């Protein structure tokens, strides 16, 4: 397997600011100054797109979910500027767009150049990865038990539920928080390509790669129940769940496209509705750390304009709908969200 080039002779030597004693705020301030002072970068787009390189880098800096992630992003910005000025900043923005954002929304990958500062622990990360097999049927069964056979956002019950005749219902699916495709090395994702994405995610979001290695990507703590249409938009990072302070497993819904949610709910509370007993600890609830990472990415997609651009140029991105037809456990029928939207029984109003 080929690896990213880290040959010192092929790049300009830069300071490893991540190992200095500078305070995070200081380092972030330096990175912001770099972006503000590089006037040409304000108009420079990510290569092959119309997304502003400066806006994308600023969004990654502003919405990094941890201080470690802020330092990592700031370091990459400063190092790229020292290495090659504005072209260097455009290069790392392009790397983040195609190495992180694109893989989080689609299953297809594009080859992209990444500086060492963007994937500083690649050699370790690639040894931690394991391929996964899709277990959507089993995962969905567990989630329906845990989430009371209904979508956690709309309240619509699954169309196979015995309550479906008396309540608004829909096709309720198992929706991954961190996408399954990152561990799908059998499909269009190579292990090296996935390792690059995981290493960026690991450093930007401080995520434990081994926590979701292999089949662990299919753990109930990395999933929630959503109707098909809501699932599609969740996979596009058009909405997310923001933690409510001091209220465990309770979240406020954030979205810039409220109209598609078909719900008057503003808050989602996760409760395990499966039968629990001393010998049965129940089914894990969605992990707050993973929901926090998804929310941070949603903010980046929105603040940078990358989400809107991808929506408008889907074919140009060589993307595919992040929701697969077998997300429901094996059905070979791909349901049309617009048809669901117009079906009053399936997507009725929640009272």
- Contacts of residue 256, Cβ cutoff 8 Å, sequence gap at least 6: 238, 239, 302
Rounded Cα gap, residues 70 and 89, in angstroms: 16
Which pLDDT tens digit goes with each residue over 177-198? 999 999 988 655 588 899 999 9
How far from the centroid of its chain's Cα atoms is residue 244's Cα? Answer: 20
| 43 against 248, higher pLDDT | 248
Q: Is the pLDDT of residue 262 over 80?
A: no
| 115 against 331, higher pLDDT | 115
Confidence at 218, pLDDT banded by 50, 70, 90 = very high
Confidence at 11, pLDDT banded by 50, 70, 90 = very low
Q: Is the pLDDT of residue 73 over 90?
A: yes
- Contacts of residue 119, Cβ cutoff 8 Å, sequence gap at least 6: 4, 99, 125, 196, 199, 200, 203
Which pLDDT tens digit goes with each residue over 159-182? 777 665 566 677 899 999 999 999
pLDDT score for 189: 57
Report CA torsion sign: 278, 280, 282, 288.
positive
Q: Mean of the pLDDT values across residues 270-277?
A: 85
Confidence at 288, pLDDT banded by 50, 70, 90 = very high
**Above pLDDT 70, what percent of the chain?**
75
pLDDT score for 107: 75
Confidence at 251, pLDDT banded by 50, 70, 90 = very high
pLDDT score for 42: 67
Q: Which single residue is written with the structure tokens 């705020």?
A: 25
Rounded Cα gap, residues 196 and 6, in angstroms: 13
Rounded Cα gap, residues 148 and 273, in angstroms: 6
Q: Is the pLDDT of residue 84 over 70?
A: yes
Order of all β-strands in the sheet with 267-269: 239-243, 250-255, 267-269
In terms of C-beta density within 10 A (0-12 exposed, 13-18 middle, 19 or more buried), how is residue 260 classed? Answer: middle
pLDDT score for 37: 83
Rounded Cα gap, residues 159 and 169, in angstroms: 5
Helix, strand or coil, per DSSP, at residue 280: strand
Q: Is the pLDDT of residue 55 over 70?
A: yes
Q: Is the pLDDT of residue 201 over 50?
A: yes
Q: Mean of the pLDDT values across residues 96-121?
A: 89
Q: Is the pLDDT of residue 340 over 70?
A: no
Q: Token digits for 322? A: 């992040």
Round the average pLDDT of the chain to a whole number and report it.
81
Q: Is the pLDDT of residue 350 over 50?
A: no
């Amino acid at each position: 397997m080929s690896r990213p080039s880290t040959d010192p002779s092929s790049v300009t030597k830069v300071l490893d600011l991540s190992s200095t004693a500078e305070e995070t705020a200081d380092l972030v301030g330096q990175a912001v100054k770099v972006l503000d002072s590089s006037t040409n970068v304000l108009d420079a787009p990510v290569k092959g797109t119309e997304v502003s390189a400066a806006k994308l880098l600023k969004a990654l800096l502003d919405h990094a979910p941890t201080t470690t992630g802020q330092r990592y992003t700031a370091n990459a910005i400063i190092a790229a500027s020292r290495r090659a000025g504005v072209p260097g900043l455009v290069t790392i923005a392009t790397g983040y767009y195609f190495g992180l954002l694109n893989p989080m929304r689609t299953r297809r990958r594009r080859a992209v150049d990444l500086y060492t500062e963007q994937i500083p622990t690649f050699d370790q990360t690639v040894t931690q990865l394991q391929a996964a097999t899709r277990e959507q049927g089993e995962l969905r069964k567990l989630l329906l038990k845990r989430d009371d056979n209904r979508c956690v956002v709309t309240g619509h019950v699954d169309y196979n539920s015995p309550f479906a005749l008396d309540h608004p219902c829909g096709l309720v699916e198992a929706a991954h928080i961190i996408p399954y495709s990152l561990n799908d090395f059998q499909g269009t994702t190579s292990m090296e390509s996935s390792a690059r994405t995981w290493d960026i995610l690991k450093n930007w979001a401080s995520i434990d790669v081994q926590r979701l290695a292999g089949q662990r990507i299919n753990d109930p703590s990395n999933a929630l129940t959503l109707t098909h249409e809501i699932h599609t938009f969740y996979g596009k990072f058009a909405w997310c769940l923001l933690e409510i302070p001091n209220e465990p497993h309770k979240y406020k819904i954030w979205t810039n496209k409220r109209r598609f949610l078909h719900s008057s709910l503003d808050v989602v509370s996760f409760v395990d509705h499966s039968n629990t007993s001393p010998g049965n600890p129940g089914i894990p609830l969605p992990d707050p750390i993973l929901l926090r990472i998804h929310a941070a990415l949603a903010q980046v997609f929105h603040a940078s304009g990358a989400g809107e651009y991808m929506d408008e140029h889907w074919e140009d991105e060589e993307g595919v709908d992040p929701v697969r037809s077998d997300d429901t456990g094996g059905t070979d029928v791909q349901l049309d969200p617009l048809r669901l939207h117009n079906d009053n029984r399936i997507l009725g109003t929640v009272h």
